[in-house]
């Protein structure tokens, strides 16, 4: 009756009840009429029985599917829209989400005729890892309460039955370490990017890679390099993996643009805005807390912190099994759809308030990386007084001055967000709401910094003779004296997880190729006034608590 992948998939507005009813009517009513002169009771009974059975099945599937537990897969699919639940879970995993490509990818794909890549920088997050030690403690404490619950298997709640069989002590989890799925995903990313940029890499001056010093980042870079080189995937000891050209140590004592811990005012900020803003949201989660406490009767009762940590189990557990993705964990079913949206929005808003474009420290901590990027894009030396290690970056063996190179930097999620904030990409029109979940969420971390996230900064050189410049752009742009004598002009295109994000950037305003996400490089460099000039690193040494407020400018 239904195919889940047909050209006309059933949606909420074309529920399965209708077709089943018509089928039921056409099958049973004629027989009813036919038997009118015989006994009455049997057909009436069978009609009522059949209809109630159908209604029961439909309601059961409907009700239970909202928890993510499904008896009849096609029915649940039909009721939640195709892949509805999977999308819901993925969208609400925040920084623990598995990598999903968001677009067609870069390289020659999508470039207008006459344009070619002349430099690439990839900023790559490490791939899937187990919870950090600190998060692991929180998770284990919540799981302990569940382990000591009074209701082992709640009747009428099949979505919690798995708790009786699952390992609530997480014996095999290696906190802080990479998961096998992460290792494989790093390798795949290396392969994919090699393929995506094969044309450019074939002509490039070279490939140059850097890694932040943390174990999981270094390991990510190792598997990535193996994939990039075309080696086959194989789990191996860390020491046997290839190394990046430069490794920058992590810690408060180091200037490291890929892992910024040298801003004491941010490190010591207490409470952070993330905490304050998330507290505004917690009343919305009280009913969830009560629901779980009532159904499972954990001992002692779950608190809000426990709930937040349980909200990470779905993503972690799904990625912790084997080398390949096999599907979503049963943990994803412990919350309803609405509960997931609140939990997910909570994860997103925490990072945005701490590191987003309006935060006091986010753009400041991202400026160093942006200045390195600008140096590469303009083939010049790095000018920075924030997080750059001058010793390292003034050495051309450790920091080549741009050129036709393929650069890859391996680091962490925060630094990606900080760099995007400093650049002014993915800006929000208004601060994220903290007392409700907006119907249309525009800042979703699983799209920006999932495990293995990758931001591509492409320098693109275009033959400008072929196209007409935008007549509204004004004289200075129509005949720009900066244009190379060979009629070429440089552009930048930025992709976040394979999706072009530059089109809305301020530097694209006057670009004749904005439709392609290509912004003029000169305009882009010009637009980076914050990192080049305005950034004030001294706020990192102030010890006032004013930092809590958002910048108003
Ligand atoms: C800068 O880099 C050099 C060379 O790698 C290293 O010896 C030094 O400790 C680093 N300094 C800081 C402040 O990061
Ligand atoms: C590290 O950063 C600080 C702050 O910008 C700067 O004063 C110092 O010179 C830097 N150290 C190195 C080795 O670049």
The DSSP secondary structure of 385-412, one letter per residue, reads SSS--HHHHTSTTTS---SSEEEEEEE-
Integer CA distances (angstroms), 83 to 115, 195, 312, in order? 37, 29, 21
Residue 44 confidence (pLDDT): 78
Residue 7 confidence (pLDDT): 40
Average pLDDT value for the chain: 88
In the block, tokens 């994919």 appear at 192
Residue 6 confidence (pLDDT): 38
The answer to whether the CB of 332 falls within 8 A of the CB of 314 is yes
Provide the token pair at 422: 């400093």
Residue 496 confidence (pLDDT): 98
Q: Report the alpha-carbon distance of residue 117 to residue 199 in Å, rounded.
A: 9
Q: Report the alpha-carbon distance of residue 358 to residue 430 in Å, rounded.
A: 10
The residue contributing the CA closest to ligand 2 atom 12 is 389
| Pocket, ligand 2, Cβ cutoff 6 A | 255, 385-386, 389-391, 537
Whole-structure pTM value: 0.84
Q: What angle do CA 296, 151, 314 make, to 5 degrees?
A: 45
Q: Report the alpha-carbon distance of residue 412 to residue 452 in Å, rounded.
A: 9
Q: Which of 248, 390, 394 to mutate to test the pocket of ligand 2 (most atoms within 8 A of CB)?
A: 390
Ligand nearest to the CA of 246: 1
Residue 21 has pLDDT above 50, yes or no: no
Residue 248 has pLDDT above 90, yes or no: yes
Integer CA distances (angstroms), 304 to 138, 308, 427, in order? 11, 6, 30
The residue contributing the CA closest to ligand 1 atom 11 is 254
Residue 73 confidence (pLDDT): 57
Tens of pLDDT along 74-94?
665 565 554 789 999 999 999
Residue 49 confidence (pLDDT): 78
Residue 46 confidence (pLDDT): 81
Q: Which atom of ligand 1 is least distant from the CA of 392?
A: 2
Percent of the chain with pLDDT over 70: 82
Tens of pLDDT along 324-365?
999 999 999 999 999 999 999 999 999 999 999 999 999 999
Residue 78 confidence (pLDDT): 60
Tens of pLDDT along 474-528?
444 444 444 555 789 999 999 999 999 999 999 999 999 999 999 999 999 999 9
Ligand 1 within 6 A of CB of 248 = no
R_g of the chain computed on alpha carbons: 27
Q: Report the alpha-carbon distance of residue 349 to residue 343 in Å, rounded.
A: 10
The residue contributing the CA closest to ligand 2 atom 4 is 386
Residue 14 confidence (pLDDT): 37
Q: Report the alpha-carbon distance of residue 128 to residue 481 in Å, rounded.
A: 48
Assign 387 a pLDDT band (cuts: 50, 70, 90): very high
Cα torsion 400, 401, 407, 412: sign: positive
Q: Which atom of ligand 1 is least distant from the CA of 256?
A: 14
Residue 30 has pLDDT above 70, yes or no: no
SS3 content of the chain, % helix, strand, coil (to 5): 50, 10, 40
Ligand 1 within 6 A of CB of 2 = no
Which of 4-18, 45-59, 222-236, 499-513 shows the lowest mean pLDDT across its residues?
Answer: 4-18
- For ligand 1, the distance from its centroid to the CA atom of residue 221, given in whole angstroms, is 21
């Amino acid at each position: 009756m239904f195919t889940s992948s047909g050209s006309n998939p059933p949606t909420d507005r074309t529920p399965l009840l209708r077709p089943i009813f018509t089928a039921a009517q056409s099958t049973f009513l004629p027989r009813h009429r036919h038997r009118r002169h015989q006994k009455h009771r049997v057909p009436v009974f069978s009609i009522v029985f059949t209809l109630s059975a159908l209604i029961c099945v439909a309601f059961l599937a409907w009700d239970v599917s909202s928890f993510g537990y499904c008896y009849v897969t096609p029915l649940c699919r039909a009721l939640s829209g195709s892949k509805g639940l999977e999308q819901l879970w993925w969208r609400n995993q925040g920084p623990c989400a598995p990598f999903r490509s968001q677009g067609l990818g870069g390289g020659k794909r999508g470039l207008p005729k006459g344009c070619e890549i002349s430099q690439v920088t990839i900023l790559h997050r490490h791939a899937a890892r187990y919870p950090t030690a600190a998060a692991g403690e929180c998770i284990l404490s919540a799981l302990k309460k569940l382990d000591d619950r009074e209701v082992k298997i709640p009747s009428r709640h099949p979505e919690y039955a798995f708790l009786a069989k699952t390992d609530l002590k997480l014996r095999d989890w290696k906190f802080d370490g990479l998961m096998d799925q992460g290792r494989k995903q790093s390798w795949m990313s290396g392969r994919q990017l090699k393929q995506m940029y094969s044309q450019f890499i074939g002509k490039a001056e070279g490939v140059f890679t850097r890694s932040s010093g943390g174990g999981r980042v270094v390991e990510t870079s190792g598997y990535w390099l193996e994939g990039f080189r075309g080696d086959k995937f194989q789990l191996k000891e860390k020491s046997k993996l290839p190394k990046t050209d430069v490794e920058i140590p992590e810690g408060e004592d180091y200037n490291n643009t890929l892992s910024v811990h040298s801003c004491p005012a941010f490190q010591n900020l207490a409470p952070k805005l993330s905490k304050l803003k998330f507290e505004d949201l917690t009343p919305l989660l009280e009913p969830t807390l009560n629901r779980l406490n009532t159904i499972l009767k954990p001992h002692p009762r779950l608190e809000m912190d426990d709930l937040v940590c349980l909200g990470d189990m779905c993503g972690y557990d799904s990625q912790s099994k084997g080398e390949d993705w096999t599907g979503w964990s049963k943990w994803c079913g412990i919350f309803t759809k609405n509960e997931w949206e609140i939990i997910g929005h909570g994860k997103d808003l925490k990072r945005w308030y701490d590191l987003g474009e309006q935060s006091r420290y986010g753009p400041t901590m991202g400026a160093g990386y942006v200045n390195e990027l600008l140096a590469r894009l303009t083939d010049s030396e790095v000018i920075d007084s924030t997080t750059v290690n001058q010793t390292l970056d003034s050495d051309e063996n450790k920091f080549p001055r741009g050129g036709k190179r393929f650069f890859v930097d391996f680091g962490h999620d925060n630094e990606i967000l900080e760099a995007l904030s400093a650049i002014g990409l993915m800006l929000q029109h208004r601060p994220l709401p903290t007392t409700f979940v907006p119907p249309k969420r525009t800042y979703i971390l699983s799209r920006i910094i999932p495990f293995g996230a990758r931001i591509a900064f492409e320098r693109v050189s275009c033959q400008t003779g072929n196209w007409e410049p935008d007549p509204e752009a004004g004289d200075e742009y129509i005949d720009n004296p900066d244009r190379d004598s060979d009629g070429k002009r440089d552009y930048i295109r930025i992709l976040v997880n394979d999706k072009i994000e530059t089109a809305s950037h301020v530097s694209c305003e006057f670009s004749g190729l904005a439709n392609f996400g290509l912004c003029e490089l000169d305009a882009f460099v010009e637009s980076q006034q914050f990192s080049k000039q305005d950034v004030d690193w001294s706020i990192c040494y102030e010890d006032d608590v004013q930092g809590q407020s958002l910048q108003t400018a």
